[in-house]
Structure 1
Amino acid sequence: MSQVKFEQKEDIRVTQSSGANGASGGTGGTGGGFFRGTGGPPPPAAPHQKHEGFAHEVGDALTKGAGPNGYLAWYLKKLQTDPIRTKMITSGSLAALQEFLASWIAKDRNKHGHYFTSRVPKMAIYGAFISAPLGHVMISLLQRMFAGRTSLRAKILQIVVSNLIVSPIQNAVYLTSMAVIAGARTFHQIRATVRAGFMPVMKVSWITSPIALAFAQAFLPQETWVPFFNFIGFVIGTYINTHTKRKRLQALRRKYQDGGRSTETRTETRTEYERRSDRPGPGAYP
């Protein structure tokens, strides 16, 4: 009987201890472990654990995990087995999305009030058939020039060659293509567009290209360089495209407002002239 009473007291003691620990274990102390040891309900998850679980689920959904059957692994495999086609699809999709996003951000609609303008498919064609093959060739040549050279001097030299040779060629082709897409048809129109935009675009490239290339050298395999640079170009191109569209829309608004004021001035002048012409001539004055 005394043994039974002892067990009952022990049970009561344990229950009280669990409650005490549970009350004082809200900060992640020993209360949670004591609950698990006695078979009680688990403590609620901390807020940061919930956020980590949500972020993990989102990343898992986007990449389908980091295993061999994931989307990221599938894309990297496609880059190795069919690099040109994969880069063309990637670059074309990003170029079209860039144009659409820039139109949406800048509120640049077509005559039907839509953001999906005729420039979107044109940008897709440029990205797939001009930007992707050119980027593939230029990056491949750059990688071959510095293959097996991992010293700091070689990496710096690679960045210099990229900024002085690769970037100017790519930017000149980009500006030429943008001029044609915008409606330029003569050599003088295209040259004027390239000359006006070359140095501003090169300044942006000289700021972002060394950072992007240094990051690729340190953290990315070489087969992923072109898609990575396409993504960087997508972000920068969206910003530049949006800024250009906003400036063009502001210029059109000013032109429209100035044109309206000029029309009013001409109307007032013509009305005053007509009013004066209706007066009798000097010989008719009394």
Structure 2
Amino acid sequence: MTTNTSQSKKFDPLGWYSSKLDESPMITKALTAAFVAGGGDVGCQWIVQRNKDGFTWDPARTGRFAFLGLSLIAPVSHHWYGFVMSRIPGVGAGVIAKRVACDQLFFAPLFIPAFVTSLKLLEGSSISKALKEVKDSFVDMYTSNLLLWVPAMAFNFAFTPAKYQVLFSNCVGFIWNTWLSWKTQEEGKETVAEEEEKVAVE
């Protein structure tokens, strides 16, 4: 009785993803970020609408978040993490604290406005209107960012291998993007309502 040595191996998702990171790191990270950012928006839309008449998906809105994941989040995160890891090498609590501080004191205050401004421009807002919305919502967004990302990035820099760090941040980003989607869309609705009220008064 012969044994079949050519039996197909079980599919290993992590192994497959790891090989794609080795073969095409930027493309793999960009597609992952697009999926996560778009998925976060779909989750947000569902959460907001779940108690209403029914879920009506806005694909254009999801597409904007996915596009920013592809073109902004992934490439910026890829190069930023590489920069931080190379400039602050080593292990230990002190090193991790320096990386997190650098990430949250320098990167986050620049990236959040860049992301929100880009999103508003994609929605058709003028640059002045987009910047005003960023100014009005920045403190709230940055505070919420610190609550989520400080512990998340401490874990990421401490325990996640370098090539998986963008993937880890994308997983945490699913939660963040769901909240950010809600925040940016609610801010936009409030701004429109204020403008309509102003016009009515005039």
TM-score band (shorter)? 0.7 to 0.9
Question: Offset of 1:254 from its aligned partner?
Answer: 11
Please say if residues 64 and 119 of structure 2, whose CA atoms lie closer than 8 Å, have aligned partners that are also in contact: no
Question: Offset of 1:252 from its aligned partner?
Answer: 8.1
Q: Which residue does the alignment assign to 1:166?
A: 107
Relative to structure 1, the CA distance from residue 250 to residue 160 in structure 2 (aligned partners, 3 Å threshold; closer, same or farther) is: closer
In our comparison, the structure showing a higher alpha carbon Rg is 1
Q: Which residue does the alignment assign to 1:78?
A: 20
Q: 2:173 aligns with which of 233, 237, 240?
A: 233
Q: Would you say 1:88 and 2:88 are equivalent positions? A: no
Amino acid at match of 1:218: A
Structure 2 segments unaligned to the other structure (5+ residues): 1-8
Question: Offset of 1:128 from its aligned partner?
Answer: 0.5
Amino acid at match of 1:163: Q
Q: How do 1:171-186 residues align onto structure 2 when only pairs under 5 Å count?
A: 171-185=112-126
Question: Offset of 1:244 from its aligned partner?
Answer: 5.2
Amino acid at match of 1:124: A
Aligned-pair identity in percent equals 20
Q: Which residue does the alignment assign to 2:159?
A: 219
Structure 1 segments unaligned to the other structure (5+ residues): 1-66, 263-286
What does the per-residue CA deviation read over 1:28-51, in whole Å, with 9 as the maximum and x for residues that have no partner? xxxxxxxxxxxxxxxxxxxxxxxx
What does the per-residue CA deviation read over 1:98-146, in whole Å, with 9 as the maximum and x for residues that have no partner? 22221121129xxxx8313311222221110111111111111111112
Secondary structure, counterpart of 2:59 in structure 1: coil
User: Which structure's relative contact order is higher, taking Cα pairs within 8 Å and 6+ residues apart?
Assistant: 2
Secondary structure, counterpart of 2:137 in structure 1: helix
Relative to structure 1, the CA distance from residue 146 to residue 84 in structure 2 (aligned partners, 3 Å threshold; closer, same or farther) is: same
Residues of 1 paired with 2:81 and 2:161: CA distance? 13
Q: Which residue does the alignment assign to 2:96?
A: 155
Q: Which residue does the alignment assign to 1:142?
A: 84
Amino acid at match of 1:219: F
Please say if residues 106 and 246 of structure 1, whose CA atoms lie closer than 8 Å, have aligned partners that are also in contact: no
Please say if residues 88 and 128 of structure 1, whose CA atoms lie closer than 8 Å, have aligned partners that are also in contact: yes
TM-score by length of 1: 0.57
Secondary structure, counterpart of 2:58 in structure 1: coil
Q: Which residue does the alignment assign to 2:5?
A: none
Runs of 4+ in 1 over 6 A off after TM superposition: 247-256
TM-score by length of 2: 0.79
